[in-house]
Structure 1
Amino acid sequence: MKIPVLESIWVTSATVVTLISTLYLGFAEIIGNHLQYSKFTNSNSISNNNPIKLSSKIGMLIFYTPAFLAGLVSFFVFPGGGLRFVLLKSAVTFHFFKRDLEVLFIHKYSGNMVLGSTIIITLFYFFAAAGLIVVHYLSLGLPDPSIDTKYIGLILFILGISGNFYHHNLLSKLRKNNEKQYKIPRGGLFNLVICPHYLFEIVIFVGIAFISQTPLSFACTFGDSMYLIARSYETRKWYLNKFDDFPKHVKCVIPYIF
């Protein structure tokens, strides 16, 4: 069974747009047009000169909640579909649900974020979550991949979720009481890379791609990985400029390599 022509065009377009948009965001990070959240809130960016700002906690909830709801609703809109589809819907939903829980109960915040950047990131996460699920649904009639990687993907997803949560928890413990200032992270893979939470988020998306095995899932993974690698590179530069005692052996996101 083939995907109808109109649906095939939609799938191809979604894949290409996702890949181009994420690669653009990664390139923008490298040239200094940072999305304004976290430590880059007051940097030069694609926003206007007098941007509207939100509290970081509200902004982060806006980031993840629409994507979580898209995953949750998918169980009712697209019931069934086989084990692979159920695993994909579950992974997408749980990932963004976990991020909402971290925003509410784990993360500690020191500032604001720009509304324009909040909208861009929210739209990306929402369309990524919805697109992954819809494209997989449209592909259900196709033959199964010759090499089935869904169980490998599930293992990678669990590894990524666990590592990401562990390092987010370490970050939250850096600040005591009402402290606002940034500190050099320690412990776990922070002793080797400045953004291990990004490394494990990449592993999460690799796991989702291996579960789904659609072109869009691999495009999302590749594009998101390039953005996070670029963001980690800029993050390391920020720490080097801010802290004279920042350990030079600590890489960006891949231990001992980059």
Structure 2
Amino acid sequence: MKIPVVMFSEPSIWVTATTVVTLISTVYLGFAEIVGNHLQYSKFTNSSSNNKQIKLSSKIGMLTLYTPAFLAGLVSFFVFPGGGLRFLLLKSAVTFHFFKRDLEVLFVHKYSGNMVLGSIILITLFYFSAAAGLILVHYLSLGLPDPSIDTKYIGLILFILGISGNFYHHNLLSELRKNNEKEYKIPCGGLFDLVICPHYLFEIIIFVGIAFISQTPLAFACTFGDSMYLIARSYATRKWYENKFDDFPKHVKCVIPYIF
């Protein structure tokens, strides 16, 4: 009996090594969030007591995070033309995801603080290497036998669902602050009534969609590692809200409704 295959074979030992390093490093970042060693952006920047750290405005910092990854995706259409429908969907998904994030930084999000330069550099390198790596590894996999189970259309549906839900909840967050207010408020509306980080939930769905489109081991490693980080970040975020607001609703979970 032939065993169903859901992933492409690794094209080289160097790609395998990259996959393993990516998985370990992203899971480590998630563990660091749980123990309180947060990447310094959003509300956790203000919790840092080290005034000697170099900081940039949050808007500049966030644009720095996403723009190189967006450009990597955009350039890939010219560097790696062709490649079939799956490769086109992957390049399009990666490029559109980071383009959307840039547009949100410019026109949706409202910022009240700064970002630590060290965290900006680390996250920028991760996003850029993830975007470029996903595309390059899939390019190297072209010509290898296709997985016996094709999930690219399921991945496309999940990607669209994730993008839509992520944008909707980012927009709800932006509407919390009126007239240039700076203070944090307890989010409400949409899935915020059930979890404190629904935008993270839908970002996880985005990466699951990308993994199902690509079906390379690196794509699944990026998705697993990113999911572990976002789940850990949501846990830290819920604790932050509990400490800041006495009236924080106890039934609101971290990222998965009714479960966690």
Q: TM-score range by the shorter chain?
A: over 0.9
How much identity, in percent, do the aligned residues show?
Answer: 91
Q: Would the alpha carbon gap of residues 24 and 2 (structure 1) be closer, same or farther in structure 2, given more than 3 Å must change?
A: farther
SS at match of 1:146: coil
- 1:58-78 CA-to-partner distances (Å, cap 9, x unmatched) read 000000000000000000000
Query: Do the aligned partners of residues 2 and 78 (structure 1) sit closer, same or farther apart at CA in structure 2, a change above 3 Å counting?
Result: farther
Counterpart-to-counterpart distance in 2, 1:28 and 1:134:
29
Query: For the Cα contact (< 8 Å) 2:55–2:115, is it kept in 1?
Result: yes
1-structure distance, mates of 2:145, 2:170: 39
Question: Which consecutive residues of structure 2, in runs of 5 or more, have no partner in the other structure?
Answer: 5-11
Alpha-carbon deviation of 1:17? 1.1
Give the C-alpha shift of residue 224 in structure 1.
0.0
Residue pair 1:34, 1:43 contacting (<8 A) in 2 also: no
1:91-145 deviation per Cα after TM superposition (whole angstroms, max 9, x unaligned): 0000000000000000000100100000000000000000000000000111111
Counterparts of 1:31 and 1:114, CA distance in 2: 19
Shift of 1:30: 0.7
Shift of 1:43: 3.1
User: Which has the larger displacement, 211-220 or 48-57?
Assistant: 48-57
Shift of residue 42 of structure 1?
3.0
Offset at residue 2 of structure 1 (A):
19
* 1:109 aligned counterpart, secondary structure: coil
For the structure 1 residues 191 and 184, does the alpha-carbon distance in structure 2 shift closer, same or farther, using more than 3 Å as the test? same
Residues 3, 152 of structure 1: alpha-carbon distance in 2 compared, 3 angstrom cutoff: closer
**Aligned counterparts of 2:174 and 2:48: Cα–Cα separation in 1:** 26
Instruction: Tell me the SS of whatever aligns to 1:249.
Output: coil
2:246 partner SS: coil
Hey, what's the Cα distance between the residues in 2 that align with 1:249 and 1:98?
A: 31
Contact between 2:166 and 2:202, CA under 8 Å: does it hold in 1? yes
Residues in 2 aligned to 1:216 and 1:175: alpha-carbon distance in whole angstroms? 39
Aligned to 1:35: 39
Contact 2:109 2:171 in 1 (8 A): yes
Q: State the alpha-carbon separation in 2 of the partners of residues 43 and 115 from structure 1.
A: 15
CA distance in 1, matches of 2:218, 2:180: 42
Separation in 2 of the partners of 1:3 and 1:150? 19
**Change in 2 beyond 3 A, CA 1:92/1:2:** farther
Query: 1:34·1:44 contact (CA, 8 Å) conserved in 2?
Result: no
> Residues 20-51 of structure 1, C-alpha deviation per residue, up to 9 Å, x if partnerless?
11011001101111000000003359xx6611
1:174–1:87 distance in 2 versus 1, CA, 3 Å: same
Per the normalisation by structure 1, the TM-score is 0.95
How has the CA–CA distance of structure 1 residues 127 and 115 changed in structure 2, closer, same or farther, with 3 Å as cutoff? same
Corresponding residue SS for 2:178:
coil
Is the aligned partner of 1:113 residue 2:118?
Answer: no
| Change beyond 3 A, Cα 1:3–1:40 | farther
Where 2:205 maps in the other structure, the secondary structure is helix
Alpha carbons of 1:129 and 1:223: their partners in 2 closer, same or farther (altered >3 Å)?
same
38 and 3 in structure 1: CA distance in 2 versus 1, 3 angstrom threshold: farther
Structural RMSD (CA):
2.8
TM-score by length of 2: 0.95
Contact 1:18–1:220 (CA under 8 A) maintained in structure 2 = yes
**Number of aligned residue pairs:** 253
Unaligned runs of 5+ in 1: none
Q: Note if contact 2:46-2:113 (Cα within 8 Å) is conserved in structure 1.
A: no
1:173 Cα deviation from its structure 2 partner: 0.1
Higher RCO structure, 1 or 2 (CA under 8 Å, sep 6+): 2
In structure 1, C-alpha distance between the alignment counterparts of 2:179 and 2:2, rounded to whole Å = 58
Does the residue aligned with 2:199 lie in a helix, a strand or coil?
Answer: helix
- SS of corresponding position for 2:115: strand
8 Å CA contact 1:51–1:114 kept in 2: the answer is: yes
Match for residue 134 of structure 2 among 116, 120, 132: 132
Q: Is the 8 A contact 2:158 2:205 kept in 1?
A: yes
